[in-house]
Chains A and B, each alone.
Chain A
Amino acid sequence: AQTVTQSQPEMSVQEAETVTLSCTYDTSESDYYLFWYKQPPSRQMILVIRQEAYKQQNATENRFSVNFQKAAKSFSLKISDSQLGDAAMYFCAYKGGGADGLTFGKGTHLIIQP
């Protein structure tokens, strides 16, 4: 079975600074997808960024970028120029190549200090 590990229960960063959230995963599949989701207090899951395993180039979405190290099975999220609205729970998630659901990590609570 696939597992997703987020080793940072909580992270704190000053507004406008850069923060990196870590995620590692374990799988024997060659075709899979990795995601970072944001869950604010409303609890609505919001997709932050997605990475296809077959793509070598790291995904980027505005201030959000990932460092995807396939051999190391590592998938970290970098948030640049942190904003107060970035404060939330962040979940790393894995999806196999078929019609599978998502396997989530335990999450990282991100605090933005003004």
Chain B
Amino acid sequence: GAVVSQHPSWVICKSGTSVKIECRSLDFQATTMFWYRQFPKQSLMLMATSNEGSKATYEQGVEKDKFLINHASLTLSTLTVTSAHPEDSSFYICSASPIPGLGPYEQYFGPGTRLTVT
């Protein structure tokens, strides 16, 4: 149980185009999902907190208009990278906190999406 999927696992897009990444909780519902970014050989950085039915909360320094987050249902959150540029190339990972859960610490990670912008 407690599986989180991401689609696609790897995407290549041209500079200036937009790309959407999906994060789904397959066997549980999640009010809150998180989006992280990981550059090669670096740590994960929290980008935003996605709450079902409300606007996402972005971390300082993350461009809201570039990284659009939609949490339309209790099992799906999407991250759209708009007008992508090569510097947006990174590994994007989502995580989800189940409801009901064991506590605020419980969260499960997706396998990640590798974005390459050419």
Question: How many pairs of residues, A versus B, come closer than 8 Å at their CB atoms?
Answer: 52
Whether a CB of chain B sits under 8 angstroms from the CB of A20 is no
Which one of A21-29, A42-50, A74-82 contacts B? Answer: A42-50
Residue interface mask B18-54, A partner, CB < 8 A = 1: 0000000000000010101010001111100101000
B77 part of interface (Cβ distance < 8 Å): no
Nearest-neighbour CB distance to chain A for B116, whole angstroms, equals 15
Q: A52 within 8 Å of B by Cβ?
A: yes
Q: A42-B111, A44-B112, A45-B93 in contact; A52/B46 too (CB < 8 A)?
A: no
Complex alpha-carbon distance, A45 and B44, angstroms: 10
A98, B112: Cα distance in complex, Å = 24
Query: CA A101 – CA B36 in complex, angstroms?
Result: 9
| 19 sampled A-B residue pairs with Cβ under 8 A | A33-B104, A42-B111, A43-B112, A44-B112, A45-B93, A45-B109, A52-B105, A91-B44, A95-B104, A97-B104, A100-B49, A101-B46, A101-B49, A101-B59, A102-B34, A102-B44, A102-B46, A104-B43, A106-B42
Measuring CB to CB, which residues of chain B are less than 8 angstroms from any residue of chain A? Answer: 32, 34, 36, 38, 42-46, 49, 51, 59, 91, 93, 95, 97, 104-105, 107, 109, 111-112
Interface residues of A (CB under 8 A from B): 33, 35, 42-45, 50, 52, 91, 95, 97-107
